[in-house]
Amino acid sequence: MAAHNTILIIHDNPDLYLQSLTSQFPDSTIQVARNDLELSEKMAGQQPEILFSMRCDGISSKAQTAAAQKSCVKWIQVAGAGFDHIGDLDRLACKITTCAGVLSKFQAETVMGAMLNLNFGFFRYQQQQQKQIYRKLPWRSLEGQKLLLIGFGHIGRAVAIKARQFGMHITAIRSRLVDTPDADAVCTSDKLLSLLPETDFVSLHLPYNEKTHHFFSLEMLRAMKKSAYLINTARGGVIDEDALITALQEEQIAGAYIDVFNEEPLSQENPLWQLDNLLISPHYCDAVEDWQERFAAFFADNLQKWLAGNALQNVIKE
């Protein structure tokens, strides 16, 4: 494989790692697209063979999808585990790799933080504090409580490892029945409706695609017990958001922590803002302080392999 490549970084804020990449690969031409217009112009003018694609607010998914479909592109390194922003993989002719696993332990840390918050009622005490109410709220330990992980890739396993340290009982939902030491039980999704009534925490870790669109439905929310909590740090589209709003408004479940939404940023008119049994964060649960540099370091390692003609890490499409 030729040593020289034209690389396009698709990101509205690449300054934290751009110099490092440029110095590591002096024989490659590295360009940057910080918005939709620049992306369109660079794809037309530079004809890059390699895309380093960051999902970000400054560049639309529509523009990223259009870039990914260009015939000049031979390889796309997605900066993250999710790749729905580059469109339908079946319509792409290039190799695709992800950064799955790079930030898994940090996302798992946030999920555990949310469970601790919801379980003890820290958010309730915050609400009481604002009203100067001094009232004790009942709670029970996470030890022995049942955690259902829907999706058991890098992130699901990382959550399981941390949850086990608290003595939780862990059931993993996977597409195939493969035993794992990180879960007490492994089931397929056809068992969900029978598992939900006995579950204390449900945490979603599914990729978003046509098959998982509104996967967690009103029927599933109604199957949960009223004392249970729901956590979604995957993608907004895997939950029927209208059904979630109804379930929280009517207290069909005790509460939820949601980091991802159908529309991002979340509009001020969205009823989710008004729910006092919901914790919200702005699609940032795994964004540890140096997350951008960590993705860039993974890309650099894969780029070294690409230039040497070696197998890439985290290939999801050949």
Domain membership of residue 1 (yes or no) is no
DSSP state of 89: G
Looking at the fold, whether 110 and 257 belong to one and the same domain comes out as yes
> Same structural domain for residues 221 and 271?
yes
Task: Grade residue 1 by pLDDT with cuts at 50, 70 and 90.
Answer: very low
pLDDT (tens digit per residue) in 163-218: 999 999 999 999 888 888 999 999 999 999 999 999 999 999 999 999 999 999 99
Q: How far apart are CA 157 and CA 161, in angstroms?
A: 6
Measured at the CA of 220, the angle between CA 215 and CA 221, to 5 degrees, comes to 110
The arithmetic mean of pLDDT across residues 85-101, rounded, is 96
Q: Where are the beta strands (DSSP E) in 42-82?
A: 50-54, 75-79
Domain enclosing residue 223, as ranges: 104-280
Contacts of 252 (CB under 8 A, 6+ apart): 221, 222, 224, 226, 246
**pLDDT, position 4:** 75
Q: Cβ(96)–Cβ(83) under 8 Å?
A: yes
Q: Are residues 64 and 175 in the same domain?
A: no
Q: What's the whole-number mean pLDDT along residues 253-281?
A: 97
Chain mean pLDDT for the chain: 96
Residue 68's CATH number: 3.40.50.720
Q: Are residues 16 and 89 in the same domain?
A: yes
Decide: 67 and 73 in contact? Cβ < 8 Å. Answer: yes
Q: How far apart are CA 310 and CA 5, in angstroms?
A: 16
Residues 258, 148 share a domain? yes
Q: Are residues 93 and 158 in the same domain?
A: no
Residues 108, 98 share a domain: no
Give the C-alpha separation, 101 to 32, whole Å: 25
Instruction: Kindly report, residue by residue over 134-149, the tens digit of the pLDDT.
Output: 999 999 999 999 999 9
Locate 210 and state its tokens.
């046509």
Residue 311 sits in the same domain as residue 264: no
Residue 307 in domain: yes
Looking at the fold, whether 128 and 233 belong to one and the same domain comes out as: yes
3-state secondary structure of 156: helix
Asked whether residue 153 is assigned to any structural domain, the reply reads yes
DSSP reduced 3-state for 229: strand
Instruction: Give catalytic residues, as residue numbers.
Output: 235, 264, 283
- Does 216 map to a domain? yes
Asked if 24 and 124 sit in the same domain, the reply is no
CB 128 within 8 A of CB 144: no
Distance (Å, whole) CA 279 – CA 296:
30
243-247: average pLDDT: 98
Decide the pairing of beta strands 185-187 and 6-10: unpaired
Whole-number pLDDT of residue 3? 54
Tell whether 38 and 111 lie within a shared domain.
Answer: no
Whether 238 contacts 206, CB under 8 Å: yes
6 contacts 47 by C-beta, under 8 angstroms: yes
Task: Kindly state whether residues 166 and 40 are assigned to the same domain.
Answer: no
Number of domains in the chain: 2
- For residue 314, give the nearest of 121, 153, 204, 186 by alpha carbon: 153
**Is 218 within the bounds of a domain?**
yes
- Cα 286 to its chain centre, rounded Å, is 8
Token couple for 70 = 């260009």
